[in-house]
Chain A
Amino acid sequence: MTPAAPITPAMLTTADGRPLKAALAAAQARSKRRALFLVLPLLLFVVISFVIPIGQMLQRSFYHDGFSKSAPALQAWFAENPLGTEPDEAAYAALVADLALMQETRAAGDAGTRINYTLPGARSLYTSAARGAKKLEPPFKEALLAEDAKWADPRLWVAMRSAASPWTADFYMIAADLQLAADGGVERAPETQRVYVALYIKTIFLAALITGICLLLAFPIAHLLATLPMAKANLLLILVLLPFWTSLLVRTTSWIVLLQDQGVINSFLVYLGAIGDDGRLRMIYNQTGTIIVMVHILLPFMVLPLYSVMRVIPPSYARAARSLGATSWTTFRRIYLPQTLPGIGAGALLVFILAVGYYITPALVGGADGMLYSNMISFHMNKANWSMAAALATLLLLGVLVLYWLYDRLVGIDNLKLG
């Protein structure tokens, strides 16, 4: 037997002689791997159903290759000639070559659609010109202009230059109510076309208003629920949850029955004589309708977090404050309210985020002025204008993230209790 190797006191080893540190790390790595396998299904689910789609949405809002993929000749011409160059015969030759290619690959519709986003009315130019592109003879400029004088429009060339690259901020430009100017810069869209910015502000404002109303209504309910004996509280809780479990469409249509001009509430008021038959209140198919119905639908999302927080607030704190001479208002303001803050934060955040993205309810009861941002997103989705829908959705997401960040700065995100 050879003498054992000298062991430094710091170097602990296991029974089989391996350093303890390495052995521990190996054992921990094994259990970490096992733990990873346990969460793997969830991780995959989140990545597949959440991270990838949102990533794709972000990408789509900046990326549209409808025009660029079938316009290689124009791309080359734009690369050689800076912005502001008058399109010459070479430019028109490139255009005709690309139109012929579009006809061959059946891509004229796609290409025209891409231009149409920034220059409405341009799509049919491409589909009709592509059909006859092969028969055109030089000089191409005269040939194309003879077909349609719109080909000389400087705005068209600016739009093509912008669309010649698949990466684009055009959709965000439209979302900001801007348009491409003839000189290649941007300018404000005509007043009658400006819709997105005002709608964005209105949506944020309405969502905040709905959140505020929900909080005012939910706070007393939650307090009552939290202080009643268990049996009674459970009964009341069912009343809160019952509408929560009812289909969204059913609740929306019931509100239509209640609120419309010839509806239950108006007819009752007329019957009581409170209003005349021709003075029926307009409570639906407008902004008021949207607010009423959305408050009702979102109320449980405020009640539940508040309730779960209030239930665990020990009543002794408030009693102690009162016995030390605080008025009931001071007790509420300085003792009770601060303790409910995690519930208020969670409920407000939930309701606000849900309200910002609502679209079925405003579509059905919103009428002329009760529409929200999501209604425009759904409009573009239905027109298969996905890049525009993605840009609007990204802006909405961004708005929510900014508010989330503000919330974190002002209240602190650790201070949030979801139930």
Chain B
Amino acid sequence: MKKILILSTALCGFAASAQADITVMGWGGAYANSQIEAYFKPFTAATGKKVVSVDSDNPATPVKSQVEANNVTIDVAVLEIADAVRLCDEGALVPFDFSALPNGADGTGAEDDFIAGTLTECMIPTDIFSTVVAYDASKFPDAPPTSIADFFDLEKFPGKRGIRKNAKTTLEMALMADGVPAAEVYALLETDEGVDRAFAKLDTIKKDAVFWEAGAQPPQLLADGEVVMTTAYNGRIFNAVQLESKPFAIVWDGQVFEWEGMAIPKGAPNEADALELIHFATASEQLAKAAEFISYGPPRKSSASLVGNIQGKEEPMGPNLPTDPANMTNALGSSLDFWVDRDIQLNERFNAWLASN
């Protein structure tokens, strides 16, 4: 009897000490690296809990299938806001209690510290990225493009254009280039006339357009000289400039920004640890730290002043972030509600438009 007691005590001890690692499913590449350096390594150093980062094309797809199959292996999923809202509505994510989030570095309560509209029930935002117009500065030495309208101006800025093969952000940019103020874009896109107007604007550059699908393509298209101007994710252009010294520049006018963050799938194997990790990662200091590795802006206002130099350089990161005040003069926040309703319809139309002549 005694033996059994000793054995079971030993087993219990073993079970408690053999703590499972926290599995985070992210997007890979420089983005995952920024999270490993700014969130996961400091978290492991502070708590002793190990974090495993796995890559995916889009973690939303495995989250949905795992929750449906009742076999969840992911503790934390890095999601785009649109996917997070959809999965949350479908009951696939754990809702957060915002009052448990740490206050900002300046003492502001968490709910006021995050940029308005970015906190949603099932996801805590970690970064703001943006779709922008980028151009090859060596092609326009005298008068570089300065506005979103210049992207559609083939006379002043001749040359091929790169466009994302998706209706999202493309239609918004077309309307802004057509003179629609950012605040009115979605109201207009709700109407058939607005959609027609956006496609009519796109028609003006269709014959000179090269359509891209993957985020790695636009910097490559610019580097190869295939296009002189392209829509692109700001982080990809930043990397091409910093790491490969390419002569690319960004037109921040007419940028469409979105945000990403961390969520916990329902049924996550280590839910408590996952929550602890998310609270740790979304504190002002960590969010600011991550912005030094990749040019995605921190969603907490209190983080802005904490962002230092670009990793390994003597150059401030601030001006490269979509959230920099100078870059936000004509910026549009991507509308979740709109795209949740219209995504499939407008992309079907976009594909029909692509195939037509």
Interface residues of chain A, those whose CB is within 8 Å of chain B, are 105-110, 112-113, 116-117, 120-124, 127, 192-195, 198-199, 202, 260-263, 285, 363-364, 367-369, 371, 376, 379-385, 388
Contact = CB atoms under 8 A, between A and B. Distances in A.
Contacts of A364: 213-214, 217
B211 interface: yes
Contacts of B353: 192
Contacts, number: 99
Nearest to B340: A123
Contacts of B206: 368
B354 interface: yes
Contact of A105 (B86, B91, B345): B91
Interface stretch (B56-64, B283-291, B312-320): B56-64
Contacts of B70: none
Interface in B159-213: 160, 165, 190, 199, 206, 209-211, 213
State the 6 A-B residue pairs at the shortest beta-carbon distance, nearest first.
Answer: A109-B89, A120-B345, A106-B91, A195-B352, A262-B225, A368-B354
B213 A193 contact: no
B90 A106 contact: yes
B341 to A, nearest CB: 5
A113 B345 CA distance: 12
Interface string B333-346: 00001001111110
Contact of B341 (A124, A194, A285, A383): A124
Given A106-B91, A109-B86, A261-B160, A195 B351 contact: yes
Contact of A122 (B88, B213, B341): B341
B226 interface: yes
A384 B89 contact: no
Between B88, B190, B225, B226, the greatest number of chain A beta carbons within 10 A of the residue's beta carbon is seen for: B226
Given A106-B90, A110-B89, A363-B213, A193 B344 contact: no
Contacts of B142: none
A376 B350 CA distance: 12
A120 B190 CA distance: 11
B340 A124 contact: yes
Given A195-B355, A367-B211, A368-B211, A116 B91 contact: no
A127 B121 CA distance: 14
Contacts of A116: 341, 344
Interface in B21-78: 58, 60-61, 64
Contacts of B337: 124
Interface residues of B, number: 39
A384 B342 contact: no
B155 interface: no
Interface in B201-257: 206, 209-211, 213-214, 217, 224-226
A161 to B, nearest CB: 20
B351 A260 contact: no
B90 A110 contact: yes
11 contacts: A107-B90, A110-B89, A120-B341, A121-B190, A124-B341, A192-B349, A195-B348, A262-B225, A285-B211, A368-B211, A368-B354
Contacts of A112: 89
B61 A381 contact: yes
Given A107-B91, A109-B90, A368 B341 contact: no
Contacts of A124: 337, 340-341
A383 B343 contact: yes
